[in-house]
Amino acid sequence: MIKMRLIRLLEGAGKYIVQQIVWQWISLLAEVVIVYNIAHLLENAWRENLSTEGIALTMGIVLLGLGFRFLCDRLYTKASFHASADVKRILRNKIYEKMLSLGPSYRESVNSAEIVQMAGEGVEQLETYFGRYLSQFFYSLLAPITLFFILSRISVQTALLLLLAVPLIPIVIMLVMIVAKKLLSNYFAIYYGLGDSFLEKLQGMTTLKIYQADQAAAEDMDREAELFRKITMKVLSMQLNSTSVMDIIAYGGAAVGIISALGQFSKGAISLSGVLMIILLAAEFFLPMRLLGSFFHIGMNGMKASDRIFAFLDLPEAEDGKAVLEEKEIRISMEKLCFSYEESREILRDVELEIPARSFVSLVGLSGSGKSTIAGILMGKNKGYKGSVKLNGRELTEFSSRSILDKMTMIGHDSWIFKGTVRENLLLGKPSATEEEMKEALRKVNLLSFVEAQGGLEMPLLSNGSNISGGQKQRLSLARALLHDSPVYIFDEATSNIDAESEEMIMEVIHELAKSRTILLISHRLANVVGSDCIFMLENGRVAEAGKHEELLKKGGSYSRLFKEQKELECYSDKNKESSAGRHKESFVETQRDTGMEEPGHMEDLQDKTGEREDTVEEGGEKHE
């Protein structure tokens, strides 16, 4: 009924739980005083022994007692608020710290929806546990004992009867707990699953609409929601049923005590005021325990929610190195690098790769050949590689992830633009950036005039930059990356799915950067890698070819084949740029046949590789129409 690991979370908040118990106990004593005085007043009235002073005194004491109880109640609520607020803050900090220590790879262990639910409602579920349940647990033991000592002065037999009936309530709670544990595990599994599924469908809503699969997705959600409704109803009826049983015990127990007191009164063993006190206080024996039963159900939800939170906090963390990358120039080398996401499937096999400082190196290869996996290893997202990855001769794992993220900047094709302003997004790259530095970065990516026309650095941006074009979004991400000013830049398909003009502009910036930084460029579009110092062609997780563009062309291997295919396709598109969309597609299919690539899916692959661009292909540094 009490979870020690949760108690340890209390840290300094333990005093608020003690305060809650003290205020409740004082309030109980005030009630006893009120009841004592009223009982004596009634006895005096029965004996026709009432005096005005006596009535006034009793009324005064009653009013004072009520005032005292009101005050205690306020103080109890305040302490209850502090106890839960402190724990919620501590727990949310722990979740946040855990996210930080899991680093970029957190999604491999837990999904985003679960984190949101855990840190939001999951933590909120603990409010009752800390704010009410814990103090009530101790108070419900203290109250009957206190009342036993007071009422045993009137009748030991009745007081003992009442005291002995109280444990029946925790027995019911224990029995309910056995059923509740399993039910609540199911409840939370379904609850988190529903949240996950909802977020997934919400994020993919556009795609669902495009494929007119939104109705089917809605039906899926309905099914899951119905499942959740059913399990919620089960939990609620279990709670209601146990509450009813506890009510029967509480009021039944009080009734037994009252009957026993009346029996003794009829025999003249106790006075009228004594029997009145027992009648008025009998329920108080049980009410704290009965209330504990109610809090227990909510507290149990919290305890179950905490299981998930603790499981998350206990996730193993890859050891973070301590070394700090100080150098301004960084050389990267990989030897016999192997990596797998799942044991059964090796993604990288003995990759040998050398990226000298201040060089422009490209990684190319068909989709799924392992390019992004390499980028992920360098950024510390993919942990547990075999072989060696060295930065300036020192193993990558020796460096702290903070230091790695400080010295390497990755720009993907889907860098996130946060809701806010252009300024806020740029400051993520360099928090201390001046206005001039930010404008210079925007100028470099040819975005300054656009941003200035939209209100300057205060230009509002919607979540993920949904109020700007794909090309503008990518250029803004690049401006932010430029401000980060790191010795290594990794571009992972940074120019895919954007307009030709933005692509050309981004490539210009990359070439400029390459004069002073180490650049690793991952690109489907081989026209972009032509000017590289070295191109590594990956095939099924192995480096199949490496060299400069001209060398690889001369070699006549996979790179040369792929390059020619792309060039042909782009020239073909160029010739047909006036034709209608329908004709364009037919021509594309024909070209694909001409190039002898008939396997299913290959067309999509090629479209992907060329981006169906209508511009030119560079070869040997020259532009070819």
Ligand X SMILES: Nc1ncnc2c1ncn2[C@@H]1O[C@H](COP(=O)(O)OP(=O)(O)OP(=O)(O)O)[C@@H](O)[C@H]1O
Instruction: Measure Cα distances from 202 to 48, 109, 226, 469, 533 in Å.
Output: 76, 21, 18, 21, 43
For residue 385, the tally of other CB atoms under 10 A from its CB is 21
- Which residues, in sequence order, are CB contacts of 321 under 8 Å at separation 6+? 396, 397, 398, 399, 400, 401, 403
Partners of 399 in the beta sheet? 323
Torsion, CA 447, CA 448, CA 450, CA 453, rounded to 10: 170
Collapsing DSSP to helix, strand or coil, 625 comes out as coil
Collapsing DSSP to helix, strand or coil, 387 comes out as strand
From the list 178-186, 193-201, 362-370, 526-534, the region that binds ligand X by CB under 6 A is 362-370
Residue 373 in contact with ligand X, rule: CB under 6 A: yes
From the list 48-56, 169-177, 367-375, 466-474, the region that binds ligand X by CB under 6 A is 367-375
Nearest 5°: the CA angle 494, 491, 416 is 55
Q: For residues 467 and 473, what is the distance between their CA atoms, to the nearest angstrom?
A: 9
CB of 343 to ligand X, least distance (A): 11
Q: Which is nearer to ligand X, 371 or 407 (CB)?
A: 371
Q: Which is nearer to ligand X, 309 or 363 (CB)?
A: 363
From the list 48-56, 190-198, 368-376, 561-569, the region that binds ligand X by CB under 6 A is 368-376
Q: Which of residues 183-212 bind ligand X (CB under 6 A)?
A: none
Q: Is residue 274 packed enough to be buried (19+ CB in 10 Å), middle (13-18) or exposed (0-12)?
A: buried
8 A C-beta contact, residue 477 and residue 493 = no
Collapsing DSSP to helix, strand or coil, 520 comes out as strand
Q: Which is nearer to ligand X, 24 or 373 (CB)?
A: 373
Q: Which is nearer to ligand X, 149 or 416 (CB)?
A: 416
Residue 264 in contact with ligand X, rule: CB under 6 A: no
- Which residues, in sequence order, are CB contacts of 198 under 8 Å at separation 6+? 113, 221
8 A C-beta contact, residue 349 and residue 367 = no
- Kindly tell me which residue out of 207, 266, 367, 497 binds ligand X, with binding defined by CB under 6 A: 367
Q: Which is nearer to ligand X, 74 or 107 (CB)?
A: 107
- Kindly tell me which residue out of 84, 135, 369, 502 binds ligand X, with binding defined by CB under 6 A: 369
The footprint of ligand X on this chain (CB under 6 A) covers a number of residues equal to 10
Residue type, 262: L
Residue 370 in contact with ligand X, rule: CB under 6 A: yes
Distance from the first to the final alpha carbon of the chain? 77
From the list 369-377, 416-424, 435-443, 479-487, the region that binds ligand X by CB under 6 A is 369-377
Q: Which is nearer to ligand X, 321 or 376 (CB)?
A: 376
8 A C-beta contact, residue 454 and residue 461 = no
- Kindly tell me which residue out of 288, 365, 412, 611 binds ligand X, with binding defined by CB under 6 A: 365
8 A C-beta contact, residue 162 and residue 257 = yes
CB of 315 to ligand X, least distance (A): 16
CB of 374 to ligand X, least distance (A): 7
CB of 541 to ligand X, least distance (A): 7
Q: Which is nearer to ligand X, 127 or 493 (CB)?
A: 493
CB of 611 to ligand X, least distance (A): 13
Q: Which of residues 310-349 bind ligand X (CB under 6 A)?
A: 341, 347
Nearest CA-CA partner of 523 in 617, 381, 412, 624: 412
For residue 268, the tally of other CB atoms under 10 A from its CB is 7
Q: Which is nearer to ligand X, 369 or 518 (CB)?
A: 369
- Kindly tell me which residue out of 88, 132, 290, 371 binds ligand X, with binding defined by CB under 6 A: 371
- Residues found in the chain: 625
CB of 337 to ligand X, least distance (A): 13
Q: Which is nearer to ligand X, 479 or 606 (CB)?
A: 606
CB of 210 to ligand X, least distance (A): 21
Q: Which is nearer to ligand X, 413 or 423 (CB)?
A: 413
Residue 372 in contact with ligand X, rule: CB under 6 A: yes
Residues binding ligand X (CB under 6 A): 341, 347, 365, 367-373
